[in-house]
Amino acid sequence: MIKNIKNMKYIQLGILTIAWLGFSSCERDFLDRPAKDQVEAEFFFNTAKDLEVATNNFYSILQTTEVYRDDAASDNIMPLSPNNRIRGNRIVPTAKGSGGWSWGDLRDINYFLENYHQVDDEAAKAHYGGVARFFRAYFYFEKVKRFGDVPWYGKVLAANDPDLYKPRDSRQLVMDSVMRDIDFAIANIPAEKTLNRISKYTAILLKARIGLHEGTFRKYHKISGYEPFLEAAVEAAEQLIASRAYTLFTTGGPTEAYRNLFARDNQDAVETILAADYERGLRTHNDINQSMTSPTFGAYGINKDMINSYLMKDGSRFTDKSNYQTVGYLEEFQNRDPRMAQTTAPPDFTVIGETRPEPVTLAGTTTGYRVIKALLDRDQWMLAHFDLILFRYAEALLILAEAKAELGTLNQADLDRTINLLRARVDMPPLNMAAANANPDSYQEAHYLNGVAGPKVPIDAANKGVILEIRRERRIELFNEGHRWDDLMRWRAGKKLEQPIVGIYFPGVGSYDFTGDGVADVYVYSGSSAGAPPTVTSMIDIQQRTLRDPLTGNGSATSGNLDPFPLGGSFDEERDYYYPIPLEDLNLNDNLEQNPYWK
């Protein structure tokens, strides 16, 4: 039974300010509870409610809208202004605690863990102690992904504590500590389906996510000890699947269910394990749908190689077609994986809540491929109140398949209970392991030629085909959910960011029918739009929106793909897998060393 906490929703209008020793006094918007000022630990940690209030303060650590913007800083989505990490323009920050090197949230968690034992309620201590350990594991997982080795602090540091000036601890020590924390959380948080609160199931999925990331990062970056982490990922994913607490959301059937999962005001606990709760007039967000629809704010456009990655409806590869590079918009949507038309606007795209198809609109997308996943009704394009999925069951299926494939223990039965369930939701043919391994997809393989500096770690030859198909499935299923950058980093595939990010193909100037009704919708011209048919709803001047020839790779062509990023991405293989530490923090602590090549 889903636990209903009306006055303790995950994200609410109410603001709690906790200024007791150890906790920060900054505003938190997760609880509707009066502020408390200068409360000493001995007076605060007395009841189960105190523990609940204290741990609710940790929810601000979780990313919410940021999850749905992160793909716009990867090879999946090109926004109007390319992100610095795609352009290779990240710089060493100056101010202490900037650039992600901040530790205030950790101090809050450690302060709680040093004091929560004062409460006499054993069940409450187990529950909320588990929640605090969940957040510490989450905090450190994010730090390790960003910086690699970091100092491990399992206590509150006093002003004169020498550990303030210690060097970074080893990745092994930190990640072993992270796994102990998440195991504690799994063992102690009750097995209740709490949609807007951390549950045992959230902790299990986080463990699977951590294990997969750390295991594959170590494997492809040649760091010893990858197997135990992949085994932990398998164990956690198996545990979540065996619980039967969740299943895949199928309302609407193969042509609507995937889109419906994200395009609704209120989530439920069918597939969604953890969601950020928003409500009209109480808690809203304005940057997600606006980024998908505004010509001047985000203008999100999906990369053509993402579109190329969707299979044909019969399971064959679109990129096996001899003319796949020069197929026009209308033709390329025919007989494809149904998730494609539920992720990017198809020829008959209809806005949620409306009955007539939307006129073809290319002004609000850099590549011509509009993002519609999690795009709700028109009323929410500027100010939205729909819930945001943060953890969902489908990820566990993908993790189990990939971890077992990387360990060399995957079999067809595993695929049938993981990847093939995702395909069945949209009525796609199942993935056959033997067939995939017998004929690996060279188009997909070209995306992941990991590493150009030093010896490469190739994809295991025996399972290359199926691993490539699992990566395809992961990119498609988890598109725009904040996973893509991390995936490229752990696969040591940063150079993928230097491949062209382009859009719709046009064979030349002229009129184009995008909807198949025999009427021109798009007019492509050079300098002068004279002669454009009156039915046209989108105009493209190739002097302003340049084209790139898909065969030669040349820009400024009179035919080719929309080219919103002509300068292209840049990725330093020796430097860019980690972020730099701020200069002031290095100056304050002589024992800290900067990440390699960030000088």
pLDDT tens-digit readout, 459-489: 999 999 999 999 999 999 999 999 999 999 9
* Predicted TM-score of the model (pTM): 0.93
**pLDDT at residue 32, rounded to an integer:** 35
**pLDDT at residue 218, rounded to an integer:** 97
Is 26's pLDDT higher than 90? no
Query: pLDDT tens across 81-133, in order?
Result: 999 999 999 999 999 999 999 999 999 999 999 999 999 999 999 999 999 99
**pLDDT at residue 21, rounded to an integer:** 34
**pLDDT at residue 556, rounded to an integer:** 78
Q: Give the list of residues 6+ apart from residue 4 with CB closer than 8 angstroms, or none.
A: none
**pLDDT at residue 38, rounded to an integer:** 37
Is 451's pLDDT higher than 60? no
Do the beta carbons of residue 520 and residue 529 sit within 8 Å? Answer: no
Is 16's pLDDT higher than 60? no
pLDDT band per the 50, 70, 90 thresholds, residue 455: low
Query: What single-letter DSSP state applies at residue 274?
Result: E
Q: What are the tokens at 75?
A: 């090879």
Do the beta carbons of residue 240 and residue 271 sit within 8 Å? Answer: no
Is 452's pLDDT higher than 70? no
Query: pLDDT tens across 332-390, in order?
Result: 999 999 999 999 999 999 999 999 999 999 999 999 999 999 999 999 999 999 999 99
Q: Give the list of residues 6+ apart from residue 187 with CB closer than 8 angstroms, or none.
A: 130
Is 59's pLDDT higher than 90? yes
**pLDDT at residue 37, rounded to an integer:** 38
CA 142 from centroid of its chain's CA atoms: 13
Please state, for a pLDDT cut of 70, what percent of the chain lies above it. 92
* Radius of gyration of the chain measured on its C-alpha atoms: 25
**pLDDT at residue 555, rounded to an integer:** 81
Is 12's pLDDT higher than 60? no
**pLDDT at residue 576, rounded to an integer:** 97
Do the beta carbons of residue 300 and residue 292 sit within 8 Å? Answer: yes
Give the chain's mean pLDDT. Answer: 91
**Mean of the pLDDT values across residues 483-505?**
96
**pLDDT at residue 31, rounded to an integer:** 29
**pLDDT at residue 554, rounded to an integer:** 84
Of the candidate ranges 190-204, 519-533, 541-555, the one whose mean pLDDT is the lowest: 541-555
How many residues would you count in the chain? 599
Do the beta carbons of residue 24 and residue 108 sit within 8 Å? Answer: yes
**pLDDT at residue 13, rounded to an integer:** 29
Strands 547-548 and 505-506: unpaired
pLDDT band per the 50, 70, 90 thresholds, residue 34: very low
Residue holding tokens 């399992």? 154
Is 6's pLDDT higher than 60? no
Query: What span, in angstroms and rounded, lies between the C-alpha atoms of 7 and 197?
Result: 12
**pLDDT at residue 303, rounded to an integer:** 98
3-class state of residue 371 by DSSP? strand
Of the candidate ranges 35-49, 237-251, 397-411, the one whose mean pLDDT is the lowest: 35-49
pLDDT band per the 50, 70, 90 thresholds, residue 553: confident
Is 14's pLDDT higher than 90? no
**Mean of the pLDDT values across residues 517-533?**
96
